[in-house]
Structure 1
Amino acid sequence: MYCFHWNKYKYLFSHFTYVINGTSDLCIKYIYSIFVLSDSVYSGPCGPLRNISGKEGETATLHVNATGGRYIVWVLVSGNSTNTFAETKPNSSINIRDYQYKGRVSSTNDGSLIFTHLTKKDQGIYKADVSKSDCSHFYSLRVYKSLVAEDIQMHHNRSESCNVILSCTVNERDVTISWSHTDRTGPTLHVYNVSDAGVYTCTAHNPISNASKSLTLTHICYNGD
């Protein structure tokens, strides 16, 4: 099997490798069976992959501009299979082909697709095939929990000299950590001098929310709990 190097489909190689099989070894027979099939069916993307972030329980819109009475076929790409689950058309009601989406997707006046009551099961790569067009739109939908303070696990570890290591972790993906009292980022913070006592606040960020939790350094040094 020869690895995938065609310039015509370079976009697919660079953007879909990590979501299809988690490796850079994406080869031509595999991508051909999923996306290409024939030039009459698929000839390339209309533009870059669109990254959409949504919040659990809320809505997300996959925007597409289809004018002139065109219709749009919506496809979920999952591994080496696809699921054509809906069809939209400007100024028309949505046609749902897969019953599990009934009551959960709708369309706008321009044919864009709206997800409601988002769950993490909605995550994935979506493709919009617009009639009378020689390209397709691709979307990466990621669904996130709205972070709260209870999601943050904050711990400390100190030596007899009161050098302290603070740790802040969140069991969710795509989370970054920042600290007050310093410009440092990351899940651990080293405090080497008791003169740096004070309230340290760890803030966890994901693409749709943030939450914070605090710890007082003097309490650690003098009471040990």
Structure 2
Amino acid sequence: MTIFFFTEQMAKIGSGIVSGLTIIYLLLSDSGVLAETDGSLATYRVVNGALGQSVVLPGNVSGESISVVTWDYANSSHQKMVQLCVKYKNSPTTCNRERMTLKLKDCSLEIQNLTDSDEGFYEINARTDTDRHQEVMELRIYVLAGTNGNPATRCVVNGTLGQSVTLPGNVSGENISFIAWDYTNSSHQKKIQLCVKYTNNPTNCKRERVTLNLKDYSLEIQNLTYSDEGLYEINARTDADVHHEVMELRIYERVSTPVITSSQFVSNELCNISLDCLLERGTKPVYSWWTGDDKVTTDESHVLTDEGRSLELSLRPSDNRVYNCTVRNPVSEATMSVDLRNLCPDTEGEKLLGPFHICLITTITLIAFITAIVFTLYWKRELKINKGKYSRRHLHQLDANKGRQNPRAELTTIYDDTILM
């Protein structure tokens, strides 16, 4: 597991206030963030912003040759996706919230005068003629140092339940006279010393599953549990300097592969379907629906409810039949598809059967059945009659032959005239 940190400090010289923007790339597998075997998630970013300041969420795409780009937002509490800005080729930019600006050069999103309500998940979706770019970021808002003692920049590290995580020390192992890692529980606010190391003394770690790496003084925590969430603080002292850094560890359970259930009813020639995306496990999941390369939003044919879990749609024969439910959180992503062709016809020639059509088909079937019975009875009667005629002719021929052979022979054949027509 590898963690990369990139920090860009921005100074407001006029007011003498220093604000920090820290962008953290957390890579929990070779392909990016840990994901289910049937899907992968692009690098998940955590962006820290200072209360009352501005922040730029990078788009990382060129504004040229972009046919459409959208920025969506999900509140950390309600997980309901809201479209913030959208830009179509050769059309003006539309942003649905004040204080937000879409930069056309790199499709980044600038948010001014940050408030606590701006915290949450931000998702960019950009599409060109040949490719699609998608990225998720979590914005965390903190108070600047000097207001209530909190640091201006605090690294947020996302860990996966049951896995391991490494909190970087970001200090060289040379000339360190003292180093300590402390932990503060999110609920009790009680600081506990986890590991301490003095020069020429052995490392002393007071908790199992915790290891201090002496090469870079990073802290490794194995077999993560929810109780490991909280603030981790490193203090290192050399002969000439002091290093201090605070990190917030958040634990997420990987999302399971979702299950899609459906119900269907018919109205005129429309097929109305309700789809529910059910999840067995996963911490703070965010739901989205896709059909082809298009993200489903509420419109005249689609209605999203229950924080994006449920989708109601009305289909015509020419509409796309395959829908995907994607569930993600900061450490994982999983997708399930459903093919609606079994529920609705997918060609113009196939029409949905209404009550009149069902009644007509039933009547025709009943008439055909009665006709078949009458024909069968008539055929059996004709067969019996023909068989009787053949039997009399055969007996008559036998008597004639017998008379010719012996003129004095007595003929004893009795004929039933009732079968003669």
TM-score range, shorter chain: 0.5 to 0.7
Asked if 1:72 corresponds to 2:179, the answer is: yes
- Where structure 2 has 5 or more consecutive residues not aligned to the other structure, the ranges are 1-15, 21-48, 52-115, 118-141, 297-307, 346-421
**Corresponding residue number in structure 2 for 1:127:** 233
Contact 1:94 1:106 in 2 (8 A): no
Alpha-carbon distance between aligned partners in 2 of 1:91 and 1:61, rounded to the nearest angstrom? 24
Residue from 163, 173, 176 that aligns with 2:286: 176
Contact 1:65 1:111 in 2 (8 A): yes
Contact 2:182 2:233 in 1 (8 A): yes
CA offset at residue 214 of structure 1?
Answer: 2.3
**CA deviation digits over 1:160-199, x for unaligned, max 9?**
3222232324353332223331522643333221433523
**Corresponding residue number in structure 2 for 1:160:** 266
SS of 2:220's equivalent in the other structure is: strand
Alpha-carbon distance between aligned partners in 2 of 1:73 and 1:191, rounded to the nearest angstrom? 57
Which residue identity does 2:168 align to in structure 1? H
**Corresponding residue number in structure 2 for 1:206:** 329
Alpha-carbon distance between aligned partners in 2 of 1:60 and 1:9, rounded to the nearest angstrom? 30
**Corresponding residue number in structure 2 for 1:85:** 194
Contact 1:58 1:118 in 2 (8 A): yes
Which residue identity does 2:343 align to in structure 1? I
Alpha-carbon distance between aligned partners in 1 of 2:313 and 2:329, rounded to the nearest angstrom? 25
**Corresponding residue number in structure 2 for 1:59:** 164
SS of 1:83's equivalent in the other structure is: strand
Q: Following superposition, which runs of at least 4 residues in structure 1 exceed 4 angstroms of deviation?
A: 7-11, 88-93, 132-135
CA offset at residue 113 of structure 1?
Answer: 0.5
**Corresponding residue number in structure 2 for 1:187:** 309
Asked if 1:116 corresponds to 2:256, the answer is: no
Alpha-carbon distance between aligned partners in 1 of 2:155 and 2:309, rounded to the nearest angstrom? 29
What TM-score do the two structures reach when normalised by structure 1? 0.66
**Corresponding residue number in structure 2 for 1:142:** 250
Alpha-carbon distance between aligned partners in 2 of 1:192 and 1:83, rounded to the nearest angstrom? 57
CA offset at residue 91 of structure 1?
Answer: 10
**Corresponding residue number in structure 1 for 2:80:** none
What TM-score do the two structures reach when normalised by structure 2? 0.38
* More contact order relative to length (CA 8 Å, sep ≥ 6): 1
Contact 1:54 1:144 in 2 (8 A): yes
CA offset at residue 93 of structure 1?
Answer: 5.3
**CA deviation digits over 1:48-103, x for unaligned, max 9?**
21121222232111111233214322122123322222224699853113xxx22x
Residue from 138, 154, 165 that aligns with 1:49: 154
Which residue identity does 1:87 align to in structure 2? V
Alpha-carbon distance between aligned partners in 1 of 2:198 and 2:278, rounded to the nearest angstrom? 45
Cα distance, 1:92–1:64 mapped onto 2, change above 3 Å: farther
Which residue identity does 2:184 align to in structure 1? V
Asked if 1:105 corresponds to 2:210, the answer is: yes
Which residue identity does 2:160 align to in structure 1? K
Contact 1:56 1:145 in 2 (8 A): yes
**CA deviation digits over 1:102-157, x for unaligned, max 9?**
2x1112211110111222221222111223555631111122223332xx242334
Contact 2:255 2:285 in 1 (8 A): no
- What are the equivalent positions in structure 2 for 1:28-47 lying under 5 Å apart? 45=151
Alpha-carbon distance between aligned partners in 2 of 1:128 and 1:168, rounded to the nearest angstrom? 42
Which residue identity does 1:71 align to in structure 2? F
Alpha-carbon distance between aligned partners in 2 of 1:180 and 1:139, rounded to the nearest angstrom? 35
SS of 2:176's equivalent in the other structure is: coil
Aligned identity (percent) is: 25
Which residue identity does 1:123 align to in structure 2? E
SS of 2:343's equivalent in the other structure is: helix
Task: Report the number of matched residues.
Answer: 188
SS of 1:160's equivalent in the other structure is: strand
Contact 1:77 1:126 in 2 (8 A): yes
Which residue identity does 1:175 align to in structure 2? P
Which residue identity does 2:196 align to in structure 1? E
Cα distance, 1:126–1:169 mapped onto 2, change above 3 Å: farther
SS of 2:217's equivalent in the other structure is: coil
**CA deviation digits over 1:200-221, x for unaligned, max 9?**
2212122222222222212334
